A and B are shown apart, each in its own frame.
Chain A
Amino acid sequence: NAGVTQTPKFRILKIGQSMTLQCTQDMNHNYMYWYRQDPGMGLKLIYYSVGAGITDKGEVPNGYNVSRSTTEDFPLRLELAAPSQTSVYFCASSLPTSSGYGYTFGSGTRLTVV
């Protein structure tokens, strides 16, 4: 099992450009998440999905969009990139359980907007 795979690992964008961060998991996890982590800071939830075709906003969704057409894939779209979106982006997945769930994180995408 590869776990949670994110691509690309690094990217530099110019202000106003768009891009898609890819995330795929092979663990048959229903739940998937996108977090951003600013330097020296904690993890902020951008969007999450509890299954194919279902997505919902987290704490900081502005400037981002997601889709979930399959169980495996959960891409994050940045439209009109801004310097404030410079961050490390982590995708995560988990199984649903009635009493709690640990996340498996991808290795992250380091994005710089200039």
Chain B
Amino acid sequence: GENVEQHPSTLSVQEGDSAVIKCTYSDSASNYFPWYKQELGKRPQLIIDIRSNVGEKKDQRIAVTLNKTAKHFSLHITETQPEDSAVYFCAAPSGYQKVTFGTGTKLQVIP
């Protein structure tokens, strides 16, 4: 099955700075890479995803980049705000219509 590694496990940034979270995957056939945000005590919510036919996708302050050769993908958050504080999970396909999640990154944005 797919093996997804996520780094760092915790990340503290000053408000307004950028944050980068990186994930690596093992299955070269994987073609879809979502990112989820989970606020404290809440459900995970899909914030952005990327398919293997593109190298980058942006949505306002959030972007995801994909390097298929190196088998890694990253989440970039620019101009961080306190409401960005949450746990972020990456995921990669691990068989027919299911995914394996990374271990999560707890992001703290310091005002």
**Which A residues lie at the B interface, using CB under 8 A?**
31, 33, 41-43, 45, 48, 50, 58, 90, 94, 96, 99-108
Question: Is B98 in the interface zone, CB < 8 Å from A?
Answer: yes
Contacts of A42 in B (CB 8 A): 89, 101-104
**A93–chain B nearest beta-carbon distance, Å:** 11
Starting from the known contacts A33-B98, A103-B99, 19 additional A-B residue pairs (CB-CB under 8 Å) come to A42-B103, A43-B101, A48-B97, A48-B98, A50-B96, A50-B97, A58-B98, A90-B44, A96-B97, A100-B34, A100-B51, A102-B46, A102-B49, A103-B36, A103-B46, A104-B46, A105-B43, A107-B42, A108-B43
**Which B residues lie at the A interface, using CB under 8 A?**
31-32, 34, 36, 42-46, 49, 51, 53, 89, 93, 96-104
Could you tell me if A100 and B31 are in contact, using CB atoms closer than 8 angstroms? yes
| Complex Cα spacing A103 to B93, Å | 12
Number of A-B contacts defined by CB within 8 Å: 51
Could you tell me if B97 and A31 are in contact, using CB atoms closer than 8 angstroms? yes
| Complex Cα spacing A58 to B99, Å | 10
| Pairs A–B under 8 Å by Cβ, sample size 24 | A33-B98, A41-B103, A42-B89, A42-B101, A42-B102, A45-B98, A45-B100, A48-B98, A50-B96, A58-B98, A90-B43, A99-B31, A99-B53, A100-B31, A100-B32, A100-B34, A100-B51, A102-B34, A102-B49, A103-B44, A103-B46, A107-B42, A107-B43, A108-B43
**A55–chain B nearest beta-carbon distance, Å:** 12
